[in-house]
Amino acid sequence: MTTVDLTREPLVDGFRRPITYLRVSVTDKCNLRCVYCMPEAGLAWLQRDEILSYEEIAQLVRAAASVGVRSIRLTGGEPLVRRDLYRLVAEIAAIDGIDDIALSTNALLLEGQLDALVAAGLRRVNVSLDSLRHDRFEAIARRPGLDAVLSGIDAAIAAGLGPIKLNCVVMRGQNDDELSAFADLTRERAIFVRFIEVMPVHENLGVQHDTYVSSDEILARVRELGELRPVEGPQGNGPARYFAFDGAPGAVGVISPLSHEYCDRCNRVRLTADGRLRLCLFGDHALDLKTPLRAGASSGALAELMRSAMLIKPERHHLRLGETSSRMRAFSEIGG
């Protein structure tokens, strides 16, 4: 255990929301090219020296833990493309005050890395999967790999990482006819399928405008498949609303960033791969932590910088269909 001074006042933003959750992007690179996320040729990746080392990330997590952050989610880009991710999981698991480490992944590389990740302390995993059909998977992700993803999900459940949350971005004309196939997974297994509205970023404005399906429509269509009752999510609801079919071990969730704002419950901030503390997924408010970190700032000083950043966390985002509210080109830049 790395001892952390836990006596400091916890982080609270200017709207009295306690901030206890930090999403950490470990890379901006990805091994898929999902049509709603990034161009086929990829983006201009960060340079190696711009990206925080695992030791630097751990230093920042230690500072965050000292001001009340309790949950960490590793994300990206695709976090499993960064070498030896288990080393970072082990470092974070050893930090006093951190009691939850989760991973968001497309699961292409999950099966091979699972044992090391679990041994290091990983406890939960969210898998992104937009189609259960091979041809569709490849059309949306612009790369093959469905079998590897499904094996990764099975392996994660077998390793005790269940209940798995499966995130599916719903797009009209591309995969919205698979709502029932995804929903059926929840009748058989303790899987929480979360349908997500396509969100606008600079790279996808055309796609987003043409394919957007609101969560109300998604839910109405899932309701046609059987009676649903509202239920709690596996770790509370976060941004999702969950519903279960009668007797089902899993549940269907909807996440509605555009049609239903969840900003009043926001408890999170994000650390980008290049060391900026980003205060809102959809706004450019951010504080550079890499420069002070590399200049030798103490954990206490870094924690106070995090506290000062709370003042620029916006009350809510202002997303609208077909418009972005930030300069972000794709979520992979900041850890979606």
Tell me which residues touch ligand SAM (CB under 6 A).
30, 36-37, 75-76, 78, 104-106, 128, 167, 169, 196, 198-199, 201, 204, 331-332, 336
CB of 74 to ligand SAM, least distance (A): 9
Task: Output the smallest distance, CB 76 to ligand SAM, in A.
Answer: 5
* Shortest distance, position 242 Cβ to ligand SAM, whole Å: 17
Instruction: State which residue, 258 or 306, has the beta carbon closest to ligand SAM.
Output: 258
Least Cβ distance, residue 332 to ligand SAM (angstroms): 5
The smaller minimum CB distance to ligand SAM, of residues 17 and 329, is found at 329
Q: Closest residue (Cβ) to ligand SAM?
A: 336
SS (H, E, C) the chain: CECCCCCCCCCECCCCCECCEEEEECCCCCCCCCCCCCCCCCCCCCCHHHCCCHHHHHHHHHHHHHCCCCEEEEECCCHHHCCCHHHHHHHHHCECCCCEEEEEECCCCHHHHHHHHHHHCCCEEEEECCCCCHHHHHHHHCCCCHHHHHHHHHHHHHCCCCCEEEEEEECCCCCHHHHHHHHHHHHHCCEEEEEEECCCCHHHHHHHHHHCCCHHHHHHHHHCCCCEEEECCECECCCEEEEEECCCCCEEEEECCCCCCCHHHCCEEEECCCCEEECCCCCCCEEECHHHHHCCCCHHHHHHHHHHHHHHCCCCCCCECCECCCCCCCHHHCCC
Q: Which is nearer to ligand SAM, 244 or 258 (CB)?
A: 258
**Residue with smaller CB distance to ligand SAM, 239 or 314:** 239
Least Å distance, CB 7 to ligand SAM, is: 34
Q: What does the alpha-carbon distance between residue 88 and residue 74 come to, in Å, rounded to a whole number?
A: 9
- Nearest-angstrom CA–CA distance, 114 and 120: 10
CB of 181 vs ligand SAM, minimal distance in Å: 17
- CB of 130 or CB of 184, closer to ligand SAM: 130
Q: Which is nearer to ligand SAM, 25 or 186 (CB)?
A: 25
Q: Based on CB atoms, which residue is closest to ligand SAM, 12 or 150?
A: 150
Q: CB 80 → ligand SAM: shortest distance, Å?
A: 8
Bridge partners of 25, per DSSP, are 75
